[in-house]
Amino acid sequence: MPEVIYQDQPFEEAIAFFRQKLNLSTRTWTDLWQGEHTKAFVVAGATKADLLNDLRLAVDRGIAEGITLAAFRKAFDENVAKNGWSYKGGRNWRTRVIFETNIRTAYAAGRWQQMTDPELLKLRPYLLYRHGDSRNPRPHHLAWDGLVLPADDPWWKTHYPPNGWGCKCRVFSISKRELKAMGKSGPDRAPDNGTYVWTDKNTGVTVTVPNGIDPGWAYNVGEKTNWAPDLSKYPSSLAEHLTNELEAL
């Protein structure tokens, strides 16, 4: 699988999206759910503040400076050794998930901000779904390739990519002229692919998920949320600090 590399030029919107997040300790990947990830930087199992901050700084370099996955892995190894972290999962798999998930979501959030700018929407009111280059394409993602919907279609609230772990699908804004060049007389109708039920094995909580979307990914990373973390479990001094940061967002 090719590495994710965004290093042609600084992507200011993606950088700003990532840097506005709060560091929060979590034990499992479901401790935060869907849009809650737009407000917090988490690494499942990383509960020490220093460790989490070190990992965040390494990811930040990937977004802002374009360091490679190999460079991130080197920093990851150093931070793990320094902080004495015993993490779950293989090192190569774990580092890829941390690095690429954060880069892809930051990039997607930045793109959404750009594509939904009111002035741009006047010229390019439609969004085009494109399947990512994958050795094992997901059937639904492949079926959505070439789908064109208005930028304000509710479908994008649950299907704006990434739509799962490792998803490389992307969205592009297009004009009415480009829509006609594709042989379409108007935008498509949002597909209804049904849903499935998924149960969190850690909590027993059951949720309904759109078909084609991995559990926890049925949200638009570019849309703002009013969610705020429950700070009652943190020491009073840290809770006060986090509260001040939240109010500044």
Give how far the C-alpha of residue 45 lies from the chain's centroid of Cα atoms, to the nearest Å: 19
pLDDT over 70 for what percent of the chain? Answer: 87
Q: For residue 242, is pLDDT > 60?
A: no
Overall average pLDDT of the 91-101 stretch: 96
**pLDDT, tens digit, 9 for 90 and up, residues 200-211:** 998 999 999 999
239 phi and psi, to 5 degrees?
-60, -40
Q: Which residues pair with 128 in a beta bridge?
A: 148, 172
Strands (E), the chain: 22-23, 40-41, 126-130, 148-150, 170-174, 195-199, 206-210
Our CA angle for 189, 109, 70, nearest 5°, is: 120
- Determine the pLDDT at residue 215: 98
The 3-state DSSP class for residue 138 equals: coil
- Determine the pLDDT at residue 188: 98
The 3-state DSSP class for residue 96 equals: helix
Overall average pLDDT of the 212-240 stretch: 74
Burial class (CB in 10 A: 0-12, 13-18, 19+), 241: middle
Q: Which residues pair with 209 in a beta bridge?
A: 196
Q: For residue 249, is pLDDT > 60?
A: no
- Tokens representing residue 126 in the block: 């439609």
Mean pLDDT of the chain: 89
232 falls in which pLDDT band (50, 70, 90)? low
Closest CA to 101 of 55, 142, 50, 48: 55
The domain spans of the chain are: 1-115, 118-224
The 3-state DSSP class for residue 195 equals: strand
